[in-house]
Amino acid sequence: MASTLRASRWLIYAVLIGTALFMLMPLLVVVLNSFRTAVEIGRSSVIGWPTGFAWENYISAWGHYCIAQRCEGIKPYMWNSFALVIPATIISTLLGAIAGYSISLWRFRGDTTMYAIVVMGVFLPEQMKLIPWALVLRELGLNDTITALVLIHTVQGISFTTLFCRNYYVGIPQDLIKAAKVDGAGYFRIFWRIVMPLSPPILIVTVIWQFTGIWNDFLMGVTFTAGSQQPVTAALIAIATTAPTDVPQYGVQSAAVLLAALPTLLVYFLGGRYFLRGLTAGAVK
C-alpha cells in the first residue's frame, strides 16, 4: 500500500514537472535568444544556448531599435503603457469598490438587477465592443490617444472590480453598517471610514488583476491607437515586422519582449501571494 502511494506521488510530480517544463519552454527560448547575437542565431537556429551574454540586445531594444520608422526602442511605448495602466487601474478599482459597496451593503430597489447588468460586461466578447467604442471615441474626439485607452479600460474594468468587491463586501456584517447609520454616518463616510479600512485584501486582488489585464491588452491598443501613441504590446508587433537590416534581429526582439513583460512579472512576484489571499478571503465566493 505504501509503495503504491509513493509511486502515485512520484507519477503526479513527474506529470506536474513535465507540464511546467512544457509551458515554460517558449519563455526559455526567448530568454536564451535575448543573450545571443544575430550572427550566432544565424549560424545555428533560434533554439540554442548562448556562447556569451549580449547585453547590447537589451540596450538596443530599450533605446535604439527602429520601430515603425522611429529608432527610439520600446522606451516611449513603455511610458505609454504606464500612462495608460496606472490611471485606468486606480479609477476602475475605486469605482468598482464603490459599486460593490452600494450593491452589497447599501441595498436599494433593483440592486440585484443592476448588479447583473454590470457583471454582464465580464462575459461579453471583446470583439463585439469595438464598433461601439469606435463610435463613442469619435464623438468624444479621442481617437488615437492614450486617454481613449484609459477610458476604455476603466469602463470595461468596472465589471470585474464590481464583481470582486461585491462578493467580498457581502461578508461584512450588516450590523456594523446599521450601527454607523445610527451614529449619523452617511453613505461616503461609512465607505471611507468603515468599508475601505477592511478592503486591502480585495483591493490588492483588483489592482493586480486590472494592472495585468490592461498591460497585456493588445486588441484595444492596436485598434484605437497608432504610431507614437501605441502601448508597448502593440509596438511589439511592429518589432516583429520591422527589420532594419537583412538579418532578422531575434536577439533584440527577444530582449524587447522580456522588457515589455517585466512590469507584470514584477507585479506577480511581489504581489502573487496577496492575490491568492485576497481571492480566498472572498473574491470568488
- Choose the weakest-confidence range: 150-159, 170-179, 233-242: 233-242
Residue 1: the pLDDT is: 59
Whether 18 is in a domain gets the answer: yes
Q: How do residues 6-17 score in pLDDT, each as one tens digit?
A: 777 888 888 999
Cβ neighbours around 155 below 10 Å, total: 17
Whether 65 is in a domain gets the answer: no
Instruction: Give the single-character DSSP code of 128.
Output: G
Query: Does residue 152 sit in the same domain as residue 123?
Result: yes
On the question of pLDDT at 107 being above 80, the answer is: no
Q: How do residues 114-143 score in pLDDT, each as one tens digit?
A: 888 888 878 888 888 899 999 999 999 888
Tell me which of 160 and 43 has the higher pLDDT. 160
Residue 157 CA, chain-centre distance (Å), reads: 11
- Please, which pLDDT band fits residue 280 given cuts at 50, 70 and 90? low
Please tell me the total number of residues recorded for the chain in this structure: 285
Query: Does residue 86 sit in the same domain as residue 191?
Result: yes
Q: For the purposes of burial, counting CB atoms within 10 Å of the CB of 28, is it exposed (0-12), middle (13-18) or buried (19 or more)?
A: exposed
**Structural domain boundaries enclosing 8:** 2-57
- Please, which pLDDT band fits residue 86 given cuts at 50, 70 and 90? very high
Task: Specify the 3-state DSSP secondary structure of 67.
Answer: strand
Contact 219, 230 (CB under 8 A): no
- Domain at 235, CATH number: 1.10.3720.10
Share of the chain above pLDDT 70, in %: 92
* Number of structural domains the chain divides into: 2
C-alpha to C-alpha distance for 67 and 74, rounded to whole angstroms: 8
Query: Does residue 36 sit in the same domain as residue 131?
Result: no
- pLDDT (average), residues 186-213: 89
Record the cell numbers describing residue 182, joined without a space: 445610527
On the question of pLDDT at 209 being above 50, the answer is: yes
Residue 39: the pLDDT is: 81
Query: Does residue 187 sit in the same domain as residue 268?
Result: yes
Residue 7: the pLDDT is: 75
Query: Does residue 177 sit in the same domain as residue 115?
Result: yes
- pLDDT (average), residues 16-42: 87
Residue 211: the pLDDT is: 94
Backbone angles phi, psi at 67, to 5 degrees: -130, 115
- Please, which pLDDT band fits residue 278 given cuts at 50, 70 and 90? low
Query: Does residue 137 sit in the same domain as residue 276?
Result: yes
What is the average pLDDT score of the chain? 85
Residue 173: the pLDDT is: 85
Q: For the purposes of burial, counting CB atoms within 10 Å of the CB of 121, is it exposed (0-12), middle (13-18) or buried (19 or more)?
A: middle
Query: Does residue 82 sit in the same domain as residue 36?
Result: no
On the question of pLDDT at 282 being above 70, the answer is: no
- Show contacts of 217-222: CB within 8 Å, 24+ apart: 217/153, 219/126, 219/127, 219/130, 220/126, 220/133, 220/149, 220/152, 220/153, 221/149
Query: Does residue 135 sit in the same domain as residue 30?
Result: no
Task: Specify the 3-state DSSP secondary structure of 42.
Answer: helix
Query: Does residue 105 sit in the same domain as residue 32?
Result: no
Query: Does residue 116 sit in the same domain as residue 235?
Result: yes
Record the cell numbers describing residue 37, joined without a space: 547575437
Contact 244, 97 (CB under 8 A): no
- pLDDT (average), residues 70-74: 82
Write the CA distances from 41 to 25, 245, 252, integer angstroms.
18, 15, 11
Query: Does residue 49 sit in the same domain as residue 178?
Result: no
